Structure 1
Amino acid sequence: MKLGLIGNGAIARYVMGALEDTGHEIGSLLLRPERVAELAAEGSSIPSMVSSVSAIPSDLDLIVECAGHQALRQYGAEILRRGLNLVTVSIGALADRDLEDELTRAAQDGGARLLLASGAIGALDALRSAKVGDLARVRYVGRKPPHGWLGSPAESHLDLNNIGPEAQTHYAGSARRAALEYPKNANVSAAVALAGLGFDQTEVELIADPSISENIHEIHAEGEFGAFSFRISGRALSDNPRSSALAAMSVVSRVAQEAQPIRF
């Protein structure tokens, strides 16, 4: 496929390399104007670097957003209205009801789809299946080393630099409030919410744990189907310790699905 990419950070660079390695073509980059100028000066090989949705070439098969919540807010609706399908990993932005409504209307108006990459979590297929029956309870637990919560509201609840030996919870509440209050950490809890009971019924607990060195994500679900628990210990991308490797991989996987005649 011929793809457009939004962003040029660690996840975007990983996605670009992986997609090109599997035979896809990056036909356009959508970036801030100053970043377009910087890459042009560096001699980028991307044939089309643009700073507005209107300038995106019309021959692209798919747009892939790798630039965060603000990029989805800024560009998402206009891309969908143009009739271009859009893959995003910024699922947490959909906790904003107004944005979700705007993107839904834009997709309907343009005859396009907003495709959600699963991000840094798994087991969402089981959760979606369980939702068909009576899904009674879904709880997401996110654990990070204390330094992983720096720059988040956790700083107002805990002394992250002197937390002591015990793990401490700094948030317990709904997935919607978690996504709105912790936007830099929102995508996993939002993915769990959208696959299962929704933003308001999904329980979230966020924990600073000095005994771990990697980010740990857990899903616990109960319902008519029975019960399951899922746990993943995630590593970061090698060139950015704040970017999940699995989140980047999930974007590549989501794009690959669109190119397959047989797919999950």
Structure 2
Amino acid sequence: MEKKTLAIIGCGKLASLVVDAYNANLLPEYELVATYSRSKEKAQHIADKVNTTDSGSSCTSYASIQDVLAMKPDYIIETASPNALKEFALDALANGSSIVTLSIGAFADQAFYDEVTKTAKAHGTKVHIASGAIGGLDVLRTVSLMGKCEATFQTEKSPNSLRKSSVYQESLQHEKKKVFEGNAIEAIALFPTSVNVSVAASIASVGPENMRVSITSTPDFVGDNHRIEIKNEQVHAVVDVYSATAQIAGWSIVNTLRNIVSPIVF
């Protein structure tokens, strides 16, 4: 059976985890052929991790996204940022490459979401949204199909994870405080890389403009604690996910890739 080709855009810790799974033969239906990162060293590191195994794979690090697209990989794994996804998604989909992404925050932009949908339909490609650090997207999707519903997304974080945002202040190191309340569009605008999961939950249910999001900063807190709640007249579902590290996001990519080629899909 001919293997499906893979490329990775964004070569940080999550990409490294995916490659570890690949090297452990958890993705036997794929061949990883290309990497790209704005850091040439990181892209080369990921390629070297593939090439130093006995898998027989030949992975090349590239200096531009366009070089990766020219390879026409079957799937592009994106672990970079919403802005990076916006940069290459339309070209990739039109070029015949499907995408597995963690940067769902990009889809809070309705115009971009619509253009991606249109382009993928026109070229027979797809965008697969990995669940990242949450779960229950199937439940959210199902409840939303039943009719009118409402949904909320609550997350608890360390103040250190908010340092690069406008809400950060030193007092957060000593006091627990709700630092944000709004919808998913407002949340991703304020926290471009740390609340992608709220957009994923909203797209699966009530839409980014209707998903009510709150973020609480807790001193000395480690990891992320997410609670998603959705209600209609018949169903009340709550999904709680705590993760000490971001590793679950990387493993959700591995799970998505396995589902793509599996005869039985979870």
Q: Secondary structure at the match of 1:103?
A: helix
The reply on whether 1:16 has 2:28 as its aligned counterpart is no
Alpha-carbon separation, structure 2, partners of 1:5 and 1:73: 15
What is the aligned partner in structure 1 of residue 54 from structure 2?
Answer: none
1:130 aligns with one of 136, 140, 143: 143
What is the aligned partner in structure 1 of residue 239 from structure 2?
Answer: 230
Alpha-carbon separation, structure 1, partners of 2:166 and 2:148: 30
2:8 aligns with one of 5, 11, 21: 5
Check 1:8–1:84 CA distance in 2 against 1; reply closer, same or farther (3 A cut): same
Check 1:79–1:170 CA distance in 2 against 1; reply closer, same or farther (3 A cut): same
CA deviation map 1:35-61 (0-9, x unaligned): 179728x96735332223355465633
CA deviation map 1:176-225 (0-9, x unaligned): 11112211222111011011100111100011112632311011111133
The reply on whether 1:80 has 2:89 as its aligned counterpart is no
Q: Secondary structure at the match of 2:263?
A: coil
Point out the more displaced range, 216-225 or 96-105.
96-105
What is the aligned partner in structure 1 of residue 35 from structure 2?
Answer: 29
- RMSD between aligned residues: 2.3
2:61 aligns with one of 49, 52, 68: 49
Structure 1-normalised TM-score?
0.86
Matches within 5 A, 1:120-199: 120-155=133-168, 159=169, 161-163=170-172, 166-199=175-208
CA contact (8 A) 2:9 2:77 kept: yes
Aligned pairs, number: 251
CA deviation map 1:215-250 (0-9, x unaligned): 1101111113321222111121xxxxxxx1111111
Q: What is the percent sequence identity of the aligned residues?
A: 26
Structure 2-normalised TM-score?
0.86
CA contact (8 A) 1:130 1:224 kept: no
- Specify every segment of 5 or more residues in structure 2 that has no aligned partner in the other structure, as ranges: 52-57
Alpha-carbon separation, structure 2, partners of 1:248 and 1:145: 20
1:253 aligns with one of 223, 234, 255: 255
Moved over 6 A (4+): none
2:111 aligns with one of 86, 95, 98: 98
Instruction: Give the aligned residue type for 1:20.
Output: N
Q: Secondary structure at the match of 1:198?
A: coil
CA contact (8 A) 2:72 2:96 kept: no
Shift of 1:27: 1.3
Alpha-carbon separation, structure 2, partners of 1:211 and 1:7: 29
1:39 aligns with one of 21, 26, 44: 44
Check 1:62–1:209 CA distance in 2 against 1; reply closer, same or farther (3 A cut): same
